Amino acid sequence: MISYSVKQLASLVGGIVEGEPEIEITGISDIFDAKKGQITFLSNPRYEAAVEKTQASAIVVSKSYKSSSPITLIRVDSPSLAFSQIISLFSPQPCSYEPGIHPTALIGREVEIGKEVSIQPYAVIEDKVKIGDGCVIGAYVFIGRESIIGEKSFFYPHVTIRERSRIGKRVILHPGVVIGSDGFGYEKTNGRHEKIPQVGIVQIDDDVEIGANTTVDRGRFGKTWIQEGCKIDNLVQIAHNVIIGKNSIIAAQTGISGSTSLGEDVTLAGQVGIAGHIHIGDGATITAQSGVTKDVPPGAVLSGRHARPINLTHKLEVLYNKLPELWERLKKLEKKCDGDSSRPEADSYNS
């Protein structure tokens, strides 16, 4: 059985032990299900009450966390990040893929394949594709002609990359990702929707990760561009000619309409809807289920169906919840006014 002392784990993550440093840790768990001998972590303040109930032998917490709990703590700057390092000690080794081309894979003409590349069963690589060193191309992956794949990229099964796409280094695409599908463009002529040709490409820069069943449309012309370091969740729709700035985060079920641009370090929470042809400034945050229809300044935090400043949205939500009470009060005031004949405005009001 694998085990580490709390002291050893603290040394790994650069933490400070508060409690018993020699306790042996044999596993990991969340704060609710942890048992004796396991370590857990606390990063969200809403779960602080669980600290008193957990059976964990140790907890990774922030340096600012205030606790009267007798449980041994490891104090760090980022509990979530530190715990991810600890997880790696107790988790199974990641799957490895032997370099080589499986006999069932179909490789087109003039394909360039780098060193130590693994191409799994039933992958299809069309003509004139270039694949960099150390890539893993999963089962049933399709890579369209003249696409370029940077070194050490990893494509899980059933990824589809259409023609002439440009994928950078160390890009991770999860199952079902579609890169380079046609943008949604039609012109109504004589009562019919005529398709507008989509002749651009998709460019994905280095160190991007894209979640399962996310789609990125090719540009109508030019390119749809996801810049370096972006992390995109499952089930996201990115339309034609969208630009997403470096290190932006996009959560599940978000939809971004055509020709919209995001600055660097933008955060879009789940189910955000973005209208087309607008710009979202650097560092902006759009909270879950918000709808954005106009430009967003840098650093703004917007919330709500109409994506107002978050403080205003919260005030409006409070007022909305008070409407029944306010309505009853208003009716009582009206009744009082109706019965007060001494008020000079009563007659004019009732008229």
In contact, 328 and 322? CB cutoff 8 Å? no
Contacts of 174 (CB under 8 A, 6+ apart): 156, 159, 209, 210, 211, 212, 214, 234
Out of 102, 240, 277, 314, the active site residue is 240
- List, in sequence order, every beta strand (DSSP E) within 168-230: 172-173, 178-181, 186-189, 192-195, 201-204, 209-210, 215-217, 223-226
- Please count the CA atoms within 13 angstroms of the CA of 254 that sit on its side-chain side: 24
Whether 240 is catalytic: yes
Please give the structure tokens belonging to residue 92. Answer: 């199974």
User: Helix %, strand %, coil % for the chain, to 5?
Assistant: 20, 30, 55
DSSP summary character for residue 296: B
Enumerate residues 6+ apart whose C-beta is below 8 A from 3. 24, 25, 26
Ramachandran assignment for 140, one of left (phi > 0), alpha (psi -120 to 50 degrees), beta (any other): left
Residue 179: how many other CB atoms lie within 10 Å: 30
Nearest Cα to Cα of residue 242 among 230, 254, 229, 226: 226
CB atoms within 10 A of CB 143: 28
Catalytic residues: 240
